[in-house]
Structure 1
């Protein structure tokens, strides 16, 4: 008789009370040593494993990493850094964060999630020298914690490791050299008596993965020959099904749900309905949402019962993806959420859903659970967005006509992306306001002082375009969500973005609306303190949506357009207040399948334009893109119709700059010149070389007045001790290269730079909001 079992394919690595963040930052600050960090990590791991065992999970994936799983697996297979034991930790973290004379490895979004992985760097000379001791030690501890029969090691698969990598190498030959390293691991795991090994291969969801079939077949034939059962886990989307099911492995764990709120869902159930599933393999059905926070309401049981009726095989119930993408435990909320149309479930609750689904299906009489139509099932939300007038998506004038009316800059104008350090004093004030110990007026006065400090610092450093520093914003998304209708917020809903950087995504619970201005007060205060232009800082609609947990009863397009309309009103209020430089951010949730990208880009770009098209020609719209590969969507970037494009660039070796130059991108560009996620302070000479390189690749045909100089991203996670010298050096480097251009007479004649004059609607400095300017 067919049975149903349960497993996990990943769990939050942060600890129930963010213990890993505290341990990492204590180690980086020098207040804890390497042994203390490793002990803290071991404690977090054991707590997570035991939590899964208590929930009744039968096979528990031994998920853990000190910083990032892609970096960890690259290290284990023979990276420049050794396995991160105590002695090798400085090298390991240098790869992640950079060190003096050693820039950090590039960082990129992990598929279409909001997690960021460290990009492995490989070349033709990369020769695997495996050392799996860290993973083997984890397996032994896992076996002690939950029992040998339940502890399942998990690793990033060789195809995915190469697919995430950057560098010049032949994929087939390097995969062939990697296979023996993984085979060695499987032999060592077999000696430990593990029941199976999970090998995660999400790269097989990508368009073009059909081309990996022959190499994967050869690789997994070599691994299967070891004799240890292999479970290939393919998450984040549907997969290349036909050849995947032919691989010589014991089990396949597949994602049946896809992206929360996505119009296309997942076609995994349709593949199985059409092609069946091999009797020789166990199906791991990812039917509990690993990326969303809405509780399952019986759909998982209906889906599993339908699979069982079709296949009649042993099945295993799991989440659609690793649970690292959702908060740890809903029970940590002091005030349970009330009034929601649907209950919530975080990682711990989803364990209960996995076990409960298995019990419901096993305990039900045949036909008692309503069947789903597998041939049509995607899990995608329904509903059609309302159509808006076409002129709402168009700026009043095309770029070529409006750019001369906007702020004119000197060569290599200097600026930042938005935020400045969130100091302990700022966090204390925010907590006191939240707890009712500060009134609204008192809190505004304290933030006014911080804004004054930021403006004073930027004036003293000589930056050309200023920002107010965002001291009042706990998060680039949460801040806006708190001021919009249709959102719910948690107290402890933390999710790892990368390393020790955690975010608390808000939850979209209904239609999104704006009740009044959200940023105008802070803009007016900052602009009243300086004669230089100050940016109005908004987070764009796609960014807000991507960094939220979306509704399940509405499409992402519908939710993005509601956000865009709210932000459109904010743009109108900012320009009425005199704002002439406006910076909405845009980050992408680009589908993994090429066939789905055009539709996504249409509504994502449309949402951006809907939010910004009301801007008058004189208003310069700046957008920011970071930590993704944009080279293949250049037409969409151009279609955004922004006036200035600022991008992450310091870790990626000018790849995006070269792409922009190669396609003749005509608008102002602000390439990031240094990495804000590294504590290293760049030198003037190093920064000057970065700026010169923009001319060398032919960006904007060398028009230096339209090449902006800025850090990669916001500065909120850095300390003032790092920010001040870094920005001082950045400004000095820009002035140095300016002087070189002038001396070489390489500047083309152009309009003289004119003093910035805010629109007549700009508010004057108010005595009640006065804040002292402060030099660094």
Structure 2
């Protein structure tokens, strides 16, 4: 009999109860702590019982108030110096529950959302997913001061819900925490420094009688992990001495061959591997998942249980072909009947909607049946039972899988296009003088403005048929008029229409393209209280008509200043949708690019002179393995160029990238051939500025000058100092005419009370720098002392997710 386990489940609740509880806490303040903790406990217990009732034997005790990496940082006491003072002055109360010992709930959330004088920890995409983690910030002096009370409390509640023998704690592993952290420190030394704190946790868990502990180490799937053998051996050797069985969970990709050889020698009780791997970027022997091949070549130790992640944890498609069952049978035939195998999903199910049963309507003619998190758990149990029945003597009827060649990749598909379609009519040097003339430090925004309650009411009325199309367009035209008037009053140089008509930057386009299906309740957590509702690609993608031209014409008709046309790029639409699993992603991206290309032509014909095509997911989609990255970057860049090359030379093409470490994709950014690059930069300590300057990037750049995820309003002096720092870093040779001034992302989830003073200060800072310039692009002779980053805190503000990424 094969056993079953889960390694993560949506933390949202079936009806987004977690979001509502968290936002209620932020609105009411610390006094609402008990209500938040009680709501989270109910949501978690219901999820754990749901998994156990489906027949899962070992239930992973997933749960968080905000983000699992933030939980690890908080419980290990890994506070950057700017938060140490906040902890020292904190006054935790019984309302903070198990969070009191670490500094209280208020400190926990300040790490993620910031406070006056203490900017929030950075945020980044997790591995190659659309989920965001709070990034640990470490330095040479960082030392843990652990208080594991929140996790221990979760374990006790989990034992009450599903029983002591079934409740399995989930912990972010030390190698992943350190590997994904930022700062100046020695990685090996830091892992060793954290090991005693983790060992104490294991001793505490042993006292609770847990059957095992899951240590999640997805960082080990990266190419760079091959050099971590000594670190992992020393750390897990120390942890094994605590006497609690460890299940080392390595999701989100296969591991490199060199990593696999030392991974299976670690002193752990179980190793859980991903047999589904990366979303398919191309086809052929070098793509798909190679875990099965590694087992065929090097076997698997008999003294360890194999966690077989054969059910896709982040794709919404059911395993209608029986691939998982055939793979399990092949594993059993290769490893023998005495090999302990536990069937599970390839990754946490947090990347999927909660339950397909919540969907009132499903389209016909799907490439395969759908399966959300609840259904994936049921698949795990069903497949395990079927595989066990085969072991007990039932004859398999399905074709045999050869592990030595298995990858799971779909068949190749050809998409031949004329090379001329990927090139602008003129090179950058020739077209830039023809584009819109702007002053030094030109000011703009990234695209969206607040989605007010009135806008949402109008959209709902239109959706329900209570508002005609003409009436709805009138309402949206009024909102556009307000946005244009506000920007002109603020003195911005390049305007946007504000996107009042868009629910989000993917769904809006998908609703106007063939080949997409949209769920009613298919919400997925981006982080914290911010959720997305990814569309599902169910067929070939084509444009059915103009998508954005009407709104552009309304906005441009209200001003003599240039208004941007606003599109979401093909890679981002693909990455933030549930893609087909029967067609390579490269082909799906090309279909999206061709549809967007037609829109680019229509916007140019309507007089658009500045066109923004956002690709915030470009870096997110980069495969974790270095050998897979060149092919992905080729087709991703090709898709962007295919979409934008139709723009005439006089049209300035802008792209926006966010939450990105650019060092390993800098050549691809150059190859995109955009005229202006705007980036998320405010939380990264100007790392991206230095990377762009060091790479010799030659196109205009708009670094994000302030953090849209925080309700804090930046002061004029702080913003002016930011702009001076760009000049002093040598960005674009200090040419102020080519350094654009903008927030770090869209403003959709902020409030107008926060947006207007922030933009007013941003424009004032740009004007101040223009006045200070001694010559073109030259900084003032004497840099000023850095100012405070905060002018004021908006009352009742709720920190928001990147509007590119979440609702």
Pairwise same-fold verdict (TM > 0.5): yes
- Answer with 327-336 or 316-325: which moved more: 327-336
* 1:103 maps to 2:103: no
The corresponding residue for 1:11 is 9
Aligned equivalent of 1:142, options 158, 178, 181: 158
* 1:25 maps to 2:20: no
Matches within 5 A, 1:75-94: 75-80=74-79, 84-85=99-100, 88-94=104-110
**CA shift at 1:100, angstroms?**
1.6
**CA shift at 1:222, angstroms?**
0.6
The corresponding residue for 1:614 is 646
The corresponding residue for 1:704 is 736
**CA shift at 1:360, angstroms?**
1.1
The corresponding residue for 1:430 is 459
CA distance in 2, matches of 1:244, 1:408: 57
The corresponding residue for 2:311 is 288
- Answer with 505-514 or 85-94: which moved more: 85-94
SS of residue paired to 1:623: strand
Aligned residue pairs total 745
CA distance in 2, matches of 1:328, 1:680: 33
The corresponding residue for 1:166 is 182
CA contact (8 A) 1:649 1:671 kept: yes
Residue-by-residue CA offset, 1:599-641 (whole Å, 9 max, x unaligned) = 1000000000000001100000000000021112111100000
* 1:256 maps to 2:309: no
Unaligned 5+ runs, structure 1: 749-776
CA distance in 2, matches of 1:678, 1:418: 17
CA distance in 1, matches of 2:274, 2:580: 19
**CA shift at 1:746, angstroms?**
4.7
- Answer with 22-31 or 512-521: which moved more: 22-31
- Answer with 95-104 or 285-294: which moved more: 95-104
Matches within 5 A, 1:255-404: 255-263=274-282, 264-297=287-320, 298-312=322-336, 313-364=339-390, 365-370=393-398, 371-404=400-433
Aligned equivalent of 2:630, options 598, 610, 619: 598
* 1:449 maps to 2:447: no
The corresponding residue for 1:758 is none
The corresponding residue for 2:532 is 503
* 1:112 maps to 2:128: yes
The corresponding residue for 1:53 is 52
CA contact (8 A) 2:281 2:632 kept: no
CA contact (8 A) 1:7 1:60 kept: yes
The corresponding residue for 1:563 is 592
Residue-by-residue CA offset, 1:329-348 (whole Å, 9 max, x unaligned) = 11111224433231100000
The corresponding residue for 1:656 is 688
* 1:37 maps to 2:65: no
**CA shift at 1:85, angstroms?**
4.0
CA distance in 2, matches of 1:644, 1:746: 19
RMSD (Å) for aligned C-alpha atoms:
1.3
Matches within 5 A, 1:626-645: 626-645=658-677
**CA shift at 1:383, angstroms?**
2.3
CA contact (8 A) 1:622 1:646 kept: yes
TM-score with structure 2 setting the length:
0.91
CA distance in 2, matches of 1:541, 1:572: 16
- Answer with 536-545 or 682-691: which moved more: 682-691
**CA shift at 1:20, angstroms?**
1.2
The corresponding residue for 2:229 is 213
SS of residue paired to 1:711: coil
Residue-by-residue CA offset, 1:38-67 (whole Å, 9 max, x unaligned) = 111111111111111111111000111111
**CA shift at 1:287, angstroms?**
0.5
CA distance in 2, matches of 1:303, 1:112: 25
CA distance in 2, matches of 1:27, 1:337: 38
CA distance in 2, matches of 1:360, 1:347: 20
The corresponding residue for 1:246 is 265
SS of residue paired to 2:701: strand
CA distance in 2, matches of 1:405, 1:638: 20
CA distance in 2, matches of 1:215, 1:296: 37
SS of residue paired to 2:748: coil
Residue-by-residue CA offset, 1:15-45 (whole Å, 9 max, x unaligned) = 1111111111112222671221111111111
CA distance in 1, matches of 2:192, 2:201: 15
Aligned equivalent of 2:775, options 727, 745, 755: 745
Residue-by-residue CA offset, 1:689-722 (whole Å, 9 max, x unaligned) = 1111100100011110110000010011111111
CA distance in 1, matches of 2:156, 2:515: 47
- Answer with 35-44 or 111-120: which moved more: 35-44
* 1:200 maps to 2:216: yes
CA distance in 2, matches of 1:507, 1:385: 22
**CA shift at 1:369, angstroms?**
4.3
**CA shift at 1:75, angstroms?**
1.2
Residue-by-residue CA offset, 1:438-458 (whole Å, 9 max, x unaligned) = 111111111111111111111
CA distance in 2, matches of 1:361, 1:266: 21
The corresponding residue for 1:623 is 655
Unaligned 5+ runs, structure 2: 88-97, 779-807
CA contact (8 A) 1:403 1:643 kept: yes
**CA shift at 1:678, angstroms?**
0.9
Runs of 4+ in 1 over 6 A off after TM superposition: none
